[in-house]
Structure 1
Amino acid sequence: MNIKIREIISDDYAEVVFLWDDVLGMSNVNIANFRVTMEDMNKAGNYKTFVALIDNDVVGFVTMVQSLSVGVPIGYLHIQGLAVKRTVQNRGIGTKLLRQTENYAKERGISSIILCSGMKRTDAHAFYEHNGYDRDSYCFDKMFDLTQG
């Protein structure tokens, strides 16, 4: 099985949107808002998305942002999403995406990568720990209803 990793192109968007929903459970992601977001991310310049391909079919992706942090002059990479198609999981694709991310960080002199993973995604937690990532914090979020004053 030949796995190729490259930067995302617009032809990949539909499959990546499918993975956001099917693997990560993000049903609020659709092709229209994904396209707009990718355009904004490209303009910002501190975001990067890679896709994994088998026989030119997108089977996974990782998207990240370089964030600044007080006390860390060059900042860190924050993985915002990583998913591999269910039918090809456990074949090294996710690991290749992580290695691509790590190489991308090293090329820029970034020595820290962080990510959040849903509490119930225990298989994902084991995957990250297997790849050398430490479980060292909790992520918290709060949603606001912007339609109410």
Structure 2
Amino acid sequence: MKIRAAKLEDTQAICDLLKQMGYPQPLTLIQEKFEILHNDANSQVLVAEEKGTICGFLSLYFIPQIALQGDFAKICYLCVDEHVRSKGVGHLLVQEAERLARQRGCDRMELHSGMQRPLAHQFYLREGYIEAPKYFRKVLN
């Protein structure tokens, strides 16, 4: 299993993985968003590849903190192909994300995982994450 930075050619596979997560979007949108993230120094998109096939991806964003010494990194998306879940792919992606975060001076990781994803919650708890129950959102029209 190889964990590497995503390339534009990987966007179809990323699009397919997002569909498995319930985010069916046109490939053109995923390509546009990938270009934005790819050109942002605070963003990193990783893929897990085995024998030339993308079987997972993780989108990571580094966020500077004005009032604290260390910054933090946010896992924005993590998806592993449903056919290879529970085989360590997610663990490898998270390990690499944490390594990159430490390298960038981050002292913590954060993520949001919807209530409809209890298996993901179990995964993150096994990875050493703790639940932080307050999360606020406002839809902007």
Deviates more, 1:54-63 or 1:68-77: 68-77
Q: Which residue of 2 aligns with 1:123?
A: 119
Instruction: Specify which of 11, 15, 18 is matched with residue 17 of structure 1.
Output: 15
**RMSD over aligned Cα atoms:** 1.3
Instruction: Specify which of 43, 63, 76 is matched with residue 67 of structure 1.
Output: 63
Task: Write out aligned runs for 1:81-100 (5 A).
Answer: 81-100=77-96
CA contact (8 A) 2:58 2:77 kept: yes
CA-CA distance at 1:102 after TM superposition: 0.7
Rounded to whole Å, the distance in 2 between the matches of 1:57 and 1:113 is: 28
Kindly provide the amino acid, as one letter, of the partner of residue 98 in structure 2. Answer: E
CA contact (8 A) 2:17 2:79 kept: yes
User: Which structure has the larger Rg?
Assistant: 1
Q: In structure 1, the residue corresponding to 2:64 is in which secondary structure?
A: strand
Instruction: Specify which of 23, 26, 44 is matched with residue 26 of structure 1.
Output: 23
Rounded to whole Å, the distance in 1 between the matches of 2:134 and 2:45 is: 24
Q: Which runs of 5+ in 1 are unaligned?
A: none
CA-CA distance at 1:73 after TM superposition: 4.1
Rounded to whole Å, the distance in 2 between the matches of 1:74 and 1:108 is: 9
Identity in percent: 26
> Which string of whole-angstrom CA distances, capped at 9 and with x for unpartnered residues, describes residues 58-77 of structure 1?
00000011112232244210
CA-CA distance at 1:11 after TM superposition: 1.2
CA-CA distance at 1:83 after TM superposition: 0.4
Q: Which runs of 5+ in 2 are unaligned?
A: none
CA-CA distance at 1:142 after TM superposition: 2.9
Q: TM-score, normalised by structure 2?
A: 0.93
Q: TM-score, normalised by structure 1?
A: 0.88
